[in-house]
Structure 1
Amino acid sequence: MVSTRAVPNLAFRRLRGQRSAGEFAAAVRRAAREIGEHVACDARYVGRVESGEIRCPNYAYERVFLHMFPGATLEDLGFAARESVRGRGARTAPPPTTPPTLHSDTDEESDVLRRVFMMSGTTTVAAASLGLGGPSAAAAVPAQRRVGDAEVSAVENAVRRIRLLDDRHGADGLYRRASQPLRAAYALLDAGTSARRSTVDRLHAGAGELAISVGWLAHDSGRFEDARSHYAEALATARLSGDPALEAHAFCNASFLARDTGRAREAVRAAEAGMRAARPLGSPRLMALLSLREAGGRAWLGDRTGCELAMGRARTAFERGARDSDPEWMTFFREAELEILQAQCWSALSDWSRAARHARRATRLQDPHFTRNLALYRAQLTGDLARAGTADEAAAAGHQVLDLLDRVQSSRIRSMLASAVRVLRPRGGPEVTALLDRYEELPPAG
């Protein structure tokens, strides 16, 4: 059996030199900004690389590191070759009819299945609590061998609680706490083989949705490799249980993540796979969202025609209205979200004025209950207005983002605002200067 013990990355440690891990992380973030990448590098990530826990960086980090050290290869930086980490060299490509997985790699999905569903039968399910405060915020997953309705309901309630807290506060403060109920949910799956079939189906669906929710927290807080892993777990769960709704949701989020990490073609493929899974479900709104995921990927490919066609399909499907068959997790997908996703497409196509029009409509339509999304929409508007040359209006929108950042913890939103500030900084003027002064006083993410 091959050892999986991590081997320290001494080459990378030497490159850090006398800088602290935090100082080096800051240098990585600066280098990312220079080439238009968005990475949430911190001292913890640097430590994971140096310990050998991260054998190969994701594509965004790869581009940043190769920018920082011109002429070097990943191997020069102490990383393993990507194909050795994924094991592609010894694998056979899937047939053309096989739907794409998160990595377009069926064996990697099998690895996820083994991790999730071959857990020890003696696993103890720990009590798992969520929330930002005391006992009233808890959502417990009970510890026992036989699984029934009460245990499944606890998993389902954990999913709802995470989504509610994310809507209000953003992902950064929730991710680590949310991983415990996820582990407990999959332990319940292992312990629940004697339950009724309907109970097992609900548990599969609940565990898969919980994996997606935790994956989204990782995604929104910049932990992209963690997000990929969680989405892969959800996809594996969907495939094992034959759950097309869960499969569509996993592909929807995987497409979003691929777009955000510079893998536009993968974003399109995942969206298309999600639509294939979603067609029998009878939810036009779900098809609309997946069409917008496709549009986002095509926008980043520079395929304006394909993007416009996908957005047109999305609007047509959205206008067919809500249905009882719409998944519960889609409560966020209202007209405001339709507008902001179109704004992001036009922004990717560098049509800043049109992007700003859609982003402005999104901020006007958004329910203030969704605090995190309201901050995100305003951050999108700030960036689009700044690039469209409307500096004063952009500064006003930036102030509205700052007004919300004491309640919302999201690396994604902070990154968007930072990008807009970089565009505004050379513009000058009293409105811009006031925003820059206030931005400089923004405390670091906690």
Structure 2
Amino acid sequence: MGRGLRSVRTARGWSQERLIYEMERYARQHLADIASTASLKTYVSEWENGKRPISERYASILRPLLGVTDAELRGEAEKLAPPQADGYDDLLSRIDSARSIGDSMVQTFLDQTELLRTMDRQMGAAGLVDQMTGHLASMEDALTFAVLPGTRRPIATALAGAATLAAWQALDAGSVERAWRHYELAKRAAQDADAPLYLAHAMGEQAYVLRDAGRPEMAVELIRDAQRTHAERHSPRLTAWLSAAEAELCAAADMRDDARRALERAEASLPDGTEARDADMVSIFLNHGHLARWRGNVLAMLGDSTAMEELYAALDTVDPSFVRARSGLHSDLTQAHLARGEMEEARSHIQQARLLANRTGSVRYRRRVELLTGRL
């Protein structure tokens, strides 16, 4: 039982003392009643050593604080429902309920995903785990009992978008296996919905898991496979997004010429104008301002001196609500200044990157900050 808590705590780089401090701060912010510091020290030690179960009272604090599911917190496998001998009436009832799901219910699913996307962008993913878990479970349940294609497709499309968002949130929170499973769910849902845009997007984001795991060449193979998957049905904005992602992944794999060619394709594919979202697919944000930031990131990875101009221009125009993106920009600028030996500027930007990563609770960005800090 304790392995779960210990694992997610150490993934964040927190000591037991830091965990207790954060629990107390969370409790103050949410007017929750918890034990004294001395008692919490005993509880945490006993939780991690398997001597005391984590009560729901404390689990409800630890889940959003650490950005994990209940099963991850407790180190348990997800529990399956017990078998039922005479469940036909219940089965038919659920099938009938799923059949009655109309456009308004699907729109409710989409609206909830959009709300969670906005909250994630502004506050980070850690505190949204319970909401996202329940949201996915509702859609999976609806899809499981939706029999006819006309009912299944819109639910599956909504699930594909939500599962991809949930996967990115899990990756940001350091829950790599959960992220991978959510991407697999998103891909299955997209295939069920015959929604190639959502399938390609899920594959493209999943490639980042491979990159972060130290398999950049495999990540490049996956992003290229995503580009080939029903390419004739991709929108121009998605095509540009996939090309920009390929550029970043090629840069990580030290495929320098490939990275530059992919950037050129992204620029050529992206529609003109300031609109960032696609009418056919709302899961991506990409306009020329976003692409400039992405290009600066890639050029910084390649050690190109022109990255600086791109990154500072992007920093001036980035939407303030994109907190995680700003953390990434400051990290990119740190890398660019380091390449030029400008240590004072690099230290200034890494400090900003750290503050923003801590604000969103991003394990992924904190890891990058620590790697860059080690070079200062």
- Asked if Structure 1 and Structure 2 have the same fold, meaning a TM-score greater than 0.5 normalized by the shorter chain, the answer is yes
Q: Where do residues 131-170 of structure 1 align in structure 2 (5 Å cutoff)?
A: 144-145=97-98, 146-170=100-124
Evaluate the alpha carbon distance shift between residue 23 and residue 190 of structure 1 in structure 2; reply closer, same or farther with a 3 A threshold.
Answer: closer
- 1:375-433 per-residue CA deviation (whole Å, 9 max, x = no partner) reads 22223222332343212222332343355456422112222222222222xxxxxxxxx
Please state whether the residue corresponding to 1:360 is helix, strand or coil.
Answer: helix
Q: Which shows bigger deviation, 399-408 or 263-272?
A: 399-408
1:400 lines up with 2:352 in the alignment: yes
Evaluate the alpha carbon distance shift between residue 403 and residue 293 of structure 1 in structure 2; reply closer, same or farther with a 3 A threshold.
Answer: closer
- What residue number does 1:328 align with? 282
Q: Which of 190, 201, 210 does residue 258 from structure 1 map onto?
A: 210
Determine the C-alpha separation between the residues in 1 that align with 2:364 and 2:154: 32
Name the Cα RMSD after superposition.
Answer: 3.7
- What residue number does 2:242 align with? 290
Letter in 2 for 1:297: L
Evaluate the alpha carbon distance shift between residue 249 and residue 311 of structure 1 in structure 2; reply closer, same or farther with a 3 A threshold.
Answer: same
Q: Which of 396, 415, 430 does residue 367 from structure 2 map onto?
A: 415
Determine the C-alpha separation between the residues in 2 that align with 1:207 and 1:123: 21
Letter in 1 for 2:207: S
Tell me if structure 1 keeps the 8 A contact 2:197–2:238: no
- Give ranges in structure 2 of 5+ residues lacking alignment: 15-43, 49-79, 81-86
- 1:350-391 per-residue CA deviation (whole Å, 9 max, x = no partner) reads x16444443323212211122222222223222332343212
Determine the C-alpha separation between the residues in 1 that align with 2:168 and 2:13: 23
Q: Where do residues 113-128 of structure 1 align in structure 2 (5 Å cutoff)?
A: none
Evaluate the alpha carbon distance shift between residue 346 and residue 289 of structure 1 in structure 2; reply closer, same or farther with a 3 A threshold.
Answer: same
- What residue number does 1:269 align with? 221
- 1:117-160 per-residue CA deviation (whole Å, 9 max, x = no partner) reads xxx985899xxxxxxxxxxxxxxxxx955322232122111211
Please state whether the residue corresponding to 1:213 is helix, strand or coil.
Answer: helix
1:325 positional shift: 4.5
- What residue number does 2:296 align with? 343
- What residue number does 2:136 align with? 182
Whose helix fraction is larger, Structure 1's or Structure 2's? 2
Letter in 2 for 1:398: I
- What residue number does 1:383 align with? 335
Letter in 2 for 1:165: M
Determine the C-alpha separation between the residues in 2 that align with 1:177 and 1:204: 19
Q: TM-score, normalised by structure 2?
A: 0.69
- 1:262-308 per-residue CA deviation (whole Å, 9 max, x = no partner) reads 22222222222222236333522211110122222222222111111
- What residue number does 1:247 align with? 199
1:185 positional shift: 0.6
- What residue number does 1:75 align with? none
Determine the C-alpha separation between the residues in 2 that align with 1:325 and 1:123: 37
Letter in 1 for 2:253: L
Determine the C-alpha separation between the residues in 2 that align with 1:241 and 1:185: 13
Determine the C-alpha separation between the residues in 2 that align with 1:255 and 1:22: 24
Please state whether the residue corresponding to 2:254 is helix, strand or coil.
Answer: coil
Please state whether the residue corresponding to 2:360 is helix, strand or coil.
Answer: coil
- Give ranges in structure 1 of 5+ residues lacking alignment: 1-7, 14-19, 30-42, 48-114, 126-142, 425-446
Tell me if structure 1 keeps the 8 A contact 2:153–2:192: no
- What residue number does 1:373 align with? 325
1:173 lines up with 2:127 in the alignment: yes
Tell me if structure 2 keeps the 8 A contact 1:299–1:345: yes
Letter in 2 for 1:178: M
Determine the C-alpha separation between the residues in 2 that align with 1:422 and 1:240: 45
Please state whether the residue corresponding to 1:389 is helix, strand or coil.
Answer: coil
Please state whether the residue corresponding to 2:349 is helix, strand or coil.
Answer: helix
Determine the C-alpha separation between the residues in 1 that align with 2:280 and 2:352: 32
Number of matched residues? Answer: 304
Determine the C-alpha separation between the residues in 2 that align with 1:326 and 1:225: 29
Q: Where do residues 16-165 of structure 1 align in structure 2 (5 Å cutoff)?
A: 21=6, 25=10, 144-145=97-98, 146-165=100-119
Please state whether the residue corresponding to 1:367 is helix, strand or coil.
Answer: coil
Tell me if structure 1 keeps the 8 A contact 2:216–2:250: yes
- What residue number does 1:221 align with? 173
Determine the C-alpha separation between the residues in 2 that align with 1:124 and 1:175: 31
Letter in 2 for 1:147: I
Q: Which shows bigger deviation, 303-312 or 351-360?
A: 351-360
